[in-house]
Chains A and B, each alone.
Chain A
Amino acid sequence: MSSLTTLPDIALTNILEHLDFKSILTLRHTCHDLRNFINDVKPNSNVRSIHISIETDSINLVFYAEVRFSKTYKEDTFYERFLTDLAIILSFQRAPLVSMGISYNYRHPTDQFISLEEISRRILKCRPRPLSVNHLRLEIFNQEDVIFVLPFIKTEKIHIFNPKRKHDVLELNEVVKLDQWKQAKEIDIRNFTIVESLNHFLNFDDIFVQMRTIFLGHVDMMKDKCLQFSTTSSIRIEFDELVDRNRLEEVLGPKLPNSGKNWFIPIKNSEFGVSIDLLNLTLRVTCHAFYDFINEIKPSSNIQKLEFAFESNRFLLFSMRRHDSCGNLEFILSFQRTTIHFLDIICQYKRRNEIFEKLCELLKNRPRPLPVKSLRMEVFDRQDVIQVVLFLKSGELQKIEVVNAGDKEYALDLNGIGELDQWKLAMEIDNHSFLIMAPEAYF
């Protein structure tokens, strides 16, 4: 009697091609013959992203294939079960993952600390070819954690966050030697102070790092990098101190009249130039047309990327900066007519309500809603999301990324938000370390 397992391989393979990944995983469990067949054929899983959140006594695994999958492993041999499942999922992965995130979801390593060593040794190391991931996001405690993962992954964008939500030193002396580091194009390290020389960052087109002290040489080096490599898109270095700040003109040359705290160094035979922005305690080096530079300093403005940050540990020291920022923001926003490509709201400041109210007011008072293409925001709750999203121009907004600004796992209640036009018309939603509570229809 014929059955599924007696079909010719070509027929079974064809059936598998029509199945979504969950069905394939289920089919794998129906009998041995099918399991072996599926293990052999390795149908493409279509998994686009994987997020692993490690708690003290459980692990949450979320991945997106055709639909969202989520499973929490706890009790008994949860780490073992998690590893087995992850190994299966990754064994079917042929196309590059759009993103992979591994995060510790608590502030302090405890006795039951779950090391990434096993993920590294039993899964990543065993692959015949390194796992290809477009965007690697690590929320880890130290360099050792990075070394468990990065050497086995081919990636373009490396984002490293500190689960402790405060500034620690992150040593990278071993990491910077890796080929994977040298081949990546984007680095973003937040809530860590780096101590490695900026020489090790010259391969990146997009840089966001925080350092204690920078020197005039660093500013000069970043300027040269921008001048020499046209692929450099944005450099942002936050620092506590810039040594010999008053001698900047010696290195960068005289400023253009009326250019505030910005320098514009033209690139020969081109209308483009390097813009160096030393507002506050951030060095921003970008390359764009002189016309845009003028627009930016007289903010009538073609701003494409807007970031503002309020950080708790810096608040006391630089309270003026906060007011400054809000003042600037108001001014800038009032002149913004074109679409902002990327709006990044970083808010780890305790009196966040005040800031969000201020921001909300600014957005609300605009005669027309602010056009923003991609929004990334660190939020605590639903209210934060609503206050911002509601006043952005619907239809323009394509991507919404919400990041949990708290240090614990929260449920984010999206009730009501899904009804907003802005939400409905957005194409992509990305969420980190939140459990989303919302009807499926919202997605």
Chain B
Amino acid sequence: MSCEEPTTSPTPENNITVVSSDGKEFLLDLKLTEQSETLARLISNFEYDRTDVKKDPVPLGNITSAQMQKIIEWLQHHRYYPKWEQNDIHYSTSFTFETWVEEYLNIPNNEMFELLNAANYLNIPRLFSTICRIMASRITGKSAEQIRTVLNIKTDVKNDVYTGIPIQEDSSSSEDGMSEISLSPSPPPI
């Protein structure tokens, strides 16, 4: 159940080749591709799971070799995990993750966003949902300013508040007071 377990060495029968945007080739075990709905569908469409079918390399124009490396690491780790099932999405007060996942996703925001894009493109639901949850955990409980810093968001709202230029549509500058809404009751009058 862990990534340390030696993987069966790929043979032409049980693997396909994918090509990253920078032209690097990766040999992928068919067992691993089951986690990616995009690849799984492609393999079943072209019948690449049959030994008598000639397999062409699959170009993945949106994914760099670094990202592909990272994704393969994920697929290897979750190789023997049961098929992902979407849990009921609802708010939970604590975001808890496996230690392995925390280390795996301990990467700069920039890479995280790209990995999320890649997970979306390859349709790897477990990875996609995990990154979304990690992102949510980094937003929860922070002020607007902290969120901007953590997620490198360039603000345009703040300027409007400071220059006093009213923003178009419903967003009057006064609305920004909402972020001051407090979690605890205001002090009672004495």
Q: Name A residues whose Cβ lies closer than 8 Å to a Cβ of B.
A: 1-8, 10-11, 14-15, 17-20, 22-23, 25-32, 34-35, 39, 46, 60, 62, 66-72, 77, 80-81, 84-85, 87-88, 409-411, 435-437, 440
Instruction: State in angstroms the CA–CA spacing of A46 and B185 once bound together.
Output: 19
Q: In the complex, which residue of chain A has the Cβ closest to the Cβ of B179?
A: A29
Q: Name B residues whose Cβ lies closer than 8 Å to a Cβ of A.
A: 89, 91, 93, 95, 109-110, 113-114, 116-117, 120, 128-129, 131-133, 135-137, 139-144, 147-148, 151-157, 167, 170-172, 174-186, 188-189
For the A-B complex, the count of residue pairs with Cβ-Cβ distances under 8 Å equals 147
Question: Are B184 and A70 touching (Cβ within 8 A)?
Answer: yes
Q: In the complex, which residue of chain B has the Cβ closest to the Cβ of A409?
A: B189
Q: Which residues of A contact B170 (CB under 8 A)?
A: 39, 87
B99 to chain A, nearest CB (A): 20
Instruction: State in angstroms the CA–CA spacing of A19 and B113 once bound together.
Output: 18
Q: Which 9 A-B pairs have the closest CB atoms?
A: A411-B188, A18-B136, A2-B113, A435-B188, A29-B144, A14-B132, A29-B179, A17-B89, A15-B132
Question: Are B153 and A30 touching (Cβ within 8 A)?
Answer: yes
Instruction: State in angstroms the CA–CA spacing of A409 and B157 once bound together.
Output: 37
Decide yes or no: A26 and B154 within 8 Å by CB, A14-B128, A14-B129, A70-B182 being known contacts. no
A443 to chain B, nearest CB (A): 11
Question: Are A69 and B154 touching (Cβ within 8 A)?
Answer: no
Instruction: Pick the residue among B131, B167, B182 that contacts A71 (CB under 8 A).
Output: B182
Question: Are A3 and B113 touching (Cβ within 8 A)?
Answer: yes
Residue in B141, B153, B157, B181 whose Cβ sees the most chain A Cβ within 10 Å:
B181
Instruction: Pick the residue among A18, A26, A31, A46 that contacts B156 (CB under 8 A).
Output: A31
Question: Are B178 and A19 touching (Cβ within 8 A)?
Answer: no
Instruction: State in angstroms the CA–CA spacing of A62 and B182 once bound together.
Output: 10
A65 to chain B, nearest CB (A): 8
Decide yes or no: A69 and B182 within 8 Å by CB, A7-B113, A29-B157, A35-B171 being known contacts. yes
Q: In the complex, which residue of chain A has the Cβ closest to the Cβ of B189?
A: A409
Q: Which residues of B contact A435 (CB under 8 A)?
A: 185-186, 188-189
Instruction: State in angstroms the CA–CA spacing of A20 and B136 once bound together.
Output: 9
B182 to chain A, nearest CB (A): 6
Decide yes or no: A4 and B113 within 8 Å by CB, A15-B135, A19-B139 being known contacts. yes
Instruction: State in angstroms the CA–CA spacing of A15 and B148 once bound together.
Output: 16
Question: Are B185 and A30 touching (Cβ within 8 A)?
Answer: no
Question: Are A84 and B174 touching (Cβ within 8 A)?
Answer: yes
Q: Which residues of A contact B172 (CB under 8 A)?
A: 84
Question: Are B114 and A15 touching (Cβ within 8 A)?
Answer: no
Instruction: Pick the residue among A7, A68, A84 that contacts B175 (CB under 8 A).
Output: A84
Decide yes or no: A25 and B178 within 8 Å by CB, A2-B114, A66-B93, A440-B184 being known contacts. yes
B109 to chain A, nearest CB (A): 8
Question: Are A30 and B157 touching (Cβ within 8 A)?
Answer: yes
B150 to chain A, nearest CB (A): 10
Additional 15 contacts, C-beta under 8 A, given A72-B186, A81-B177, A411-B189: A4-B153, A7-B116, A11-B128, A17-B132, A18-B136, A19-B136, A25-B178, A29-B176, A31-B153, A31-B156, A31-B157, A60-B186, A68-B185, A69-B181, A71-B180
B149 to chain A, nearest CB (A): 10
Question: Are B181 and A71 touching (Cβ within 8 A)?
Answer: yes
Instruction: State in angstroms the CA–CA spacing of A25 and B171 once bound together.
Output: 13
Q: In the complex, which residue of chain B has the Cβ closest to the Cβ of A16?
A: B136
Q: In the complex, which residue of chain A has the Cβ closest to the Cβ of B188?
A: A411
Q: Which residues of A contact B120 (CB under 8 A)?
A: 8, 10-11
Question: Are A26 and B175 touching (Cβ within 8 A)?
Answer: no
Residue in B91, B174, B182, B186 whose Cβ sees the most chain A Cβ within 10 Å:
B91
Q: Which residues of B contact A34 (CB under 8 A)?
A: 153
Instruction: Pick the residue among B114, B117, B142 that contacts A26 (CB under 8 A).
Output: B142
B15 to chain A, nearest CB (A): 29
Instruction: Pick the residue among A31, A67, A80 that contacts B183 (CB under 8 A).
Output: A67
A121 to chain B, nearest CB (A): 16
Decide yes or no: A30 and B144 within 8 Å by CB, A68-B185, A69-B182, A409-B189 being known contacts. yes
Q: Which residues of B contact A14 (CB under 8 A)?
A: 89, 128-129, 132
Instruction: Pick the residue among A2, A46, A72, A88 that contacts B117 (CB under 8 A).
Output: A2
Question: Are A18 and B110 touching (Cβ within 8 A)?
Answer: no
Q: Which residues of A contact B131 (CB under 8 A)?
A: 11
Q: Which residues of A contact B177 (CB under 8 A)?
A: 81, 85
A127 to chain B, nearest CB (A): 14
11 A/B residue pairs, CB under 8 Å, sorted by A: A4-B135, A7-B117, A11-B131, A17-B132, A27-B139, A31-B153, A68-B185, A69-B181, A84-B175, A411-B188, A435-B188
A64 to chain B, nearest CB (A): 12
Q: Which residues of B contact A71 (CB under 8 A)?
A: 180-182, 186
Decide yes or no: A68 and B183 within 8 Å by CB, A3-B152, A81-B177 being known contacts. yes
Q: Which residues of B contact A17 (CB under 8 A)?
A: 89, 132
Instruction: State in angstroms the CA–CA spacing of A243 and B182 once bound together.
Output: 55
Q: In the complex, which residue of chain B has the Cβ closest to the Cβ of A438?
A: B185
Q: Which residues of A contact B140 (CB under 8 A)?
A: 19-20, 23
Instruction: State in angstroms the CA–CA spacing of A197 and B131 once bound together.
Output: 62
Instruction: State in angstroms the CA–CA spacing of A4 and B131 once bound together.
Output: 12
Instruction: State in angstroms the CA–CA spacing of A310 and B174 once bound together.
Output: 46
